Structure 1
Amino acid sequence: MLLTLTTTHRPATDLGHLLVKHPDRAHSFDVPVGTAHVFYPEADEERCTAALLLDVDPLRLTGPRGKGRQAAPTPDSFTLGRYVNDRPYAASSLLSSALSRVFRSALRGESRDRPELARTAVPLEVRVPVLRCRGGADVAARMFGPLGWTVAATPIPLDETYPEWGDSRYVDLTLTGTLRVADALNHLYVLLPVLDDAKHYWVAPDEVDKLLRAGAGWLADHPERAMISRRYLAHRRALAGLALARLAEQRLVDEPAAADPDNVDEPAEAVSARPSLAVRRREAVLAALAEAGASRVLDLGCGGGALLAALVGDRRFTEIVGTDVSTQALALAARRLRLDRLPERQRDRIRLWQSALTYRDDRLRGYDAAVLMEVIEHVDPPRLPALEDTVFGHARPHTVVVTTPNVEHNVRYEGLPAGRFRHADHRFEWTRAEFAGWAARVGSTYGYTVVLRGVGDDDPEVGAPTQLAVFTRTEADR
């Protein structure tokens, strides 16, 4: 089985420094299922290709693998399936395992000779000419597309002589993009066995740590993280549930930057050249609060506390309250804010309360402003009227700032399949007209004027990626 990695970054032969494999030599490594070879079919200043060829010994697949590990059942687990199968030829979890052993330093992003280059996104092309892909080309695109790759997955026919027989379960996969080499290798390490969906060994609990380590910085926000976790962990429900729980904690603690879901289709150099949409969204909310002259602020549905941290950093906000229905989210917010280490004077500015936005809470009354930042789209539409009554009818702050995705902008995200939302937990995403209609109705019902704005780069055809509304209580209703 074969995998090639090509770059046109100049000098292209620096790829050898990143992979820690000299282009002028062939390298061979003994691995549990055979021998892995690394060589360079082409290597000059303009273009360099590294090839990983795994020569599988079929006899090594039939028995124990040391340390008590045995070959796991596969889709070929019939009587002779352990001896007659595609494992020596089609890319699978075997290739992923070999990749992790051969390119161990590169996977960690380490390069003694080119440390700056190891941290730099470079033009890359990955080719896996025969890849077993359960679900076909569409699944390959769903896996790699959100990570910034342009995906070309061509189904391989069962027999070119008889096209009426249809396609096989294999694809010829080519990925192109501008990424760090370490990121590219970690994507492959995780997603090759996911596409294969048949690991070659029994999956132990330590595989969860391996998944999260290789998926650091991208898996928590991947729209297919549930499928990735299930398949990578061989459909062991308990392990997949543990992985998803730990990924959910990462989503609350870590603020996305280049991996922000709303930046999924942007080249790395564009992302690094300006703040992410998540940062620009917070800045827009802070600006709206400053315009309103608010000093006592509620962050409703605060999650892991990203906005709270920004509020704490601005001295104009003298009292800050974060609420969330999840006690875990509040605990994470407390850790992010380092409440246990803050000076008493600072700590007295902050309150964290458990509260559900669909139930009235007298503690929320009397504040200057409330923020619902990327919250309403997580509420089932039949429960939105209860949220409106709680915030606009009962708490009744002078100003309410609401942000939500603009679904029209989703067509600009190449890695987002048509009809899919940006986040797996979104119950809906509104067009600009739908959001404007909702805002006008709420404002009229509860005595607020409304100003609508966009956040992020404004597209003349589909608008900005985020919608923002500032509700201000009318003078007569104060």
Structure 2
Amino acid sequence: MLLTLSLQSDPENNINATDLSYLLHKHPDRTHSFSLSHNTAHVFYPQYDEDQCQVALLLEVDAIGLVRTFRGPMSSKQLTHYLNDRPYTANSFMSVALARAFRSAMGGRSKERKELVDCKLPLTVHIPVLPCRGGQPVLEKLFSPLGYHITAEPIALDNQFSEWDHSHYYQVTLKNKCRLVDLLSHLYVLMPVLDNDKHYWVSADEIEKLLLRGGEWLAQHPAKEFISLRYLKHKKHYAQIALAALAPEQIDAEEKADQAEAELEKPQTLNQQRQQKVIDTLLAHQVQSILDLGCGEGKLMKLLASHTQFKSIVGVDVSSQALDRASSRLRLEYWSERQQHRIQLWHGSAFYSDTRWTSFDAICCIEMIEHMDEDRLEAFIENVFNIAQPKLVIITTPNQEYNVVFGLTETQRRHNDHRFEWTRAEFTTWCQCIVDNYDYQVTLEGIGENNSTFGHPTQMAVFTSST
């Protein structure tokens, strides 16, 4: 099994062909060998001069050893375990060898030529035998969007029997001007995809490998669904997790499109207007980290997640059942471990101080305070405005005066769990007390349809730190 990688000199851009050896961390004067599981990889330089540098990765596969250590049922030990193309074609074995032999290069590291790590180089890859299950169209489908010039020559099944036509193997040359780390990542992911198979069992850990090697380019690839499914051996659930992690802002794209269409056909609900107003305020103040206090089922958090400006979004709620529903709504299990740091759910109460709250730019309390007993609001105020001290606090609450517009009597409340509902004057007085005692300024706004007599159905206070 063979793969060669070449770099041509480019004097205009001050690129010397011999720089390839520095980027690969492999000295050209000797052969480098690596022991892998049932394989041995060799790295050597067939050509090394000022005009062109070519490095070869030769992989020896112990096909018999693979069969002898096979741990599946005896009935699965068929003739194909002994007679197959594994030792001869570039497949998942070659991907493993690439990652082992060129580990530093794939990690984007170079001690001697740091300035070339992010430089686009005129690189050429030649693979004498590459399986392309689906033919040349699949090869072009995978590599053309990444900017490669492709030369592919089909290999006959048998030159003595022309009627057998060609096999699904090709002799392939790929040329591209790109970073070396990108080219190696493309090969690592796409060779098993072309083969449509892997030599090892695919578990959930394989999702992380795909995200690690494909995270920077796969999200924009037009065939990302096809690539993810094949790379993960057609395990649809794994592919869905990978796709969600690659582009979390695109989760439920169809659902969002349906919602957008519905919004064109009917007015926004009060809750939608409230959430949009909060998001617009957060964006305007250029906050990056948000604590959603009393997050409930995570409706606001799901909308916040679609905005890349928000680098950290944490929801806090006293109800573990609500947090479970929020986790399901946000589909946190579909996110990679690295991306899950961006959105988190914490169990907690507004009445108890938490030192973790001090690290956020903004705290949102959306339709929450009316669920508290009024005599406990002081603890909430102390925790938010004195201990946490974010630069921005947004609080929304119902306007009691507007209830008559909804057909409620003066004694009725909008929700059975509301402990109180304030008039505009009462909310203004409460907010002014906070300003008088803490280093904050406040702006009051209304949300929803304005009634000339009763005002807006929702009232919002935006507190900004004076320090």
TM-score of the superposed pair, with normalisation by structure 1:
0.54
Is the Cα–Cα contact under 8 Å of residues 40 and 50 in structure 1 kept in the other structure?
yes
CA deviations 1:90-130 (Å, max 9, x no partner) are: 11111111111111111111111111111211100011110
Q: CA 1:126/1:239 → structure 2, altered by over 3 Å: closer, same or farther?
A: same
Provide, for residues 345-365 of structure 1, a one-character-per-residue CA deviation record: whole Å limited to 9, x for no partner.
9858999xxxxxxxxxxxxxx
Q: Does 1:330 align with 2:329?
A: no
Distance 1:248 1:127 in 2: 32
Distance 2:73 2:199 in 1: 5
CA distance in 1, matches of 2:361, 2:166: 62
- The answer for the alignment partner of 2:21 in structure 1 is 16
Q: Deviations over 1:257-291 (max 9, x none)?
A: xxxxxxxxxxxxxxxxxxxxxxxxxxxxxxxxxxx
Maintained 8 Å contact 2:361/2:392: yes
> Residues 156 and 166 of structure 2 are in contact (CA less than 8 Å); yes or no, is this contact kept in structure 1?
yes
1:333 Cα deviation after fit:
2.1
1:41 counterpart residue number: 46
Aligned residue for 2:151, secondary structure, equals: strand
Structure 1 residues without counterparts, runs of 5 or longer: 253-297, 314-324, 352-394, 396-478
Tell me what 2:105 maps to: 106
Q: Structure 1 residue 218 and structure 2 residue 223: aligned?
A: no
Does structure 2 conserve the Cα–Cα contact (< 8 Å) formed by 1:72 and 1:200? no
- Measure the CA separation in 1 of the matches of 2:395 and 2:45: 58
Is residue 220–residue 248 contact of structure 1 (8 Å, CA) maintained in 2?
Answer: yes
Cα distance change on mapping 1:334 and 1:211 into 2, 3 Å: closer
Query: Would you say the 8 A contact 1:339–1:347 is kept in 2?
Result: no
C-alpha spacing 1:18/1:309, structure 2 compared with 1 (3 Å)? farther
5 Å-filtered alignment, 1:183-332, equals 183-249=182-248, 328-332=302-306
CA–CA distance in 2 between the matches of 1:200 and 1:334? 38
Deviation at 1:59, TM superposition (A): 1.5
Q: C-alpha displacement at 1:312, in angstroms?
A: 5.9
Structure 2 CA distance for partners of 1:54 and 1:250, relative to 1, 3 Å: farther
One-letter identity of the residue aligned with 1:31: L
Deviation, 1:22, is 0.8
Q: Structure 2: how far apart are the matches of 1:142 and 1:20?
A: 32
Contact 2:229 2:236 in 1 (8 A): yes
The SS at the match of 2:220 is coil
Stretch deviating more after TM superposition (328-337 or 165-174): 328-337
* Cα separation, partners in 2 of 1:72 and 1:342, compared to 1, 3 Å: farther
Match of residue 472 from structure 1: none
The number of aligned residues is 288
Measured at CA, do residues 310 and 24 of structure 1 come closer, stay the same or move farther in structure 2, by a change above 3 Å? farther
Cα displacement (A) at 1:230:
1.1
- C-alpha distance in 2, partners of 1:178/1:48? 15
2:116 equivalent in structure 1:
117
- Aligned-partner Cα distance in 2 for 1:45–1:350: 67
| Residues 32/72 of structure 1: CA separation in 2 closer, same or farther (3 Å cut) | farther
Write the deviation string for residues 142-199 of structure 1: whole angstroms up to 9, x where unpaired.
1111112112222212223433321101011111111111110010000000100110
Spell out, residue by residue over 1:389-408, the C-alpha distance to the aligned partner (whole angstroms, 9 max, x if none): xxxxxx9xxxxxxxxxxxxx
With over 3 angstroms needed to count, the CA separation of the structure-2 counterparts of 1:244 and 1:337, relative to structure 1, is: closer
Task: Specify the structure having the higher radius of gyration (Cα).
Answer: 2
Letter of the 1:110 counterpart:
R
Cα deviation, residue 237, structure 1 = 2.1
**Is the contact made by 1:71 and 1:201 (CA closer than 8 Å) also made in structure 2?**
no
**Aligned-residue RMSD, C-alpha:** 3.5
- The separation in 2 between residues aligned to 1:97 and 1:189, in whole angstroms, is 8
CA 1:71–1:95: 2 relative to 1, 3 Å: farther
Q: Specify the alignment match of 2:137 in structure 1.
A: 138
Give the corresponding residue for 1:150: 149
For residue 219 of structure 2, give the secondary structure of its aligned residue in structure 1.
coil
Percent of aligned pairs sharing the same letter: 45
Q: CA deviation at 1:64?
A: 3.7
Alignment of 1:82-93 (within 5 A): 82-93=81-92
Residues 1:339 and 1:168: Cα distance change in structure 2 (over 3 Å): closer
Structure 1 segments of 4+ aligned residues over 4 angstroms from their partners: 70-73, 307-313, 337-340, 343-351
Give the aligned residue type for 2:245. R
Residue matched to 2:416: none
- Answer yes or no: is 1:62 the counterpart of 2:51: no
Residues 72/114 of structure 1: CA separation in 2 closer, same or farther (3 Å cut): farther
Does the CA-based 8 Å contact 2:249-2:305 persist in structure 1?
no
Q: What is the CA distance between 1:217 and its match in structure 2?
A: 0.8
Counterparts of 1:127 and 1:192, CA distance in 2: 13
- Shift, 1:205, TM fit: 1.0
The 3 A distance-change label for structure 1 pair 121 and 346 is same
Change (3 A) 1:145 1:180: same
| Aligned mates of 1:308, 1:93 — CA distance in 2 | 49
Instruction: Provide the residue aligned with 1:405 in structure 2.
Output: none
Q: Equivalent residue of 2:98, what SS? A: helix
Of residues 52, 58, 65, the one that matches 2:57 is 52
Change (3 A) 1:225 1:196: same
Q: Are residues 342 and 327 of structure 1, via their aligned partners in 2, closer, same or farther at CA, if it must alter by over 3 Å?
A: closer
Give the deviation of 1:334 after TM superposition.
7.4
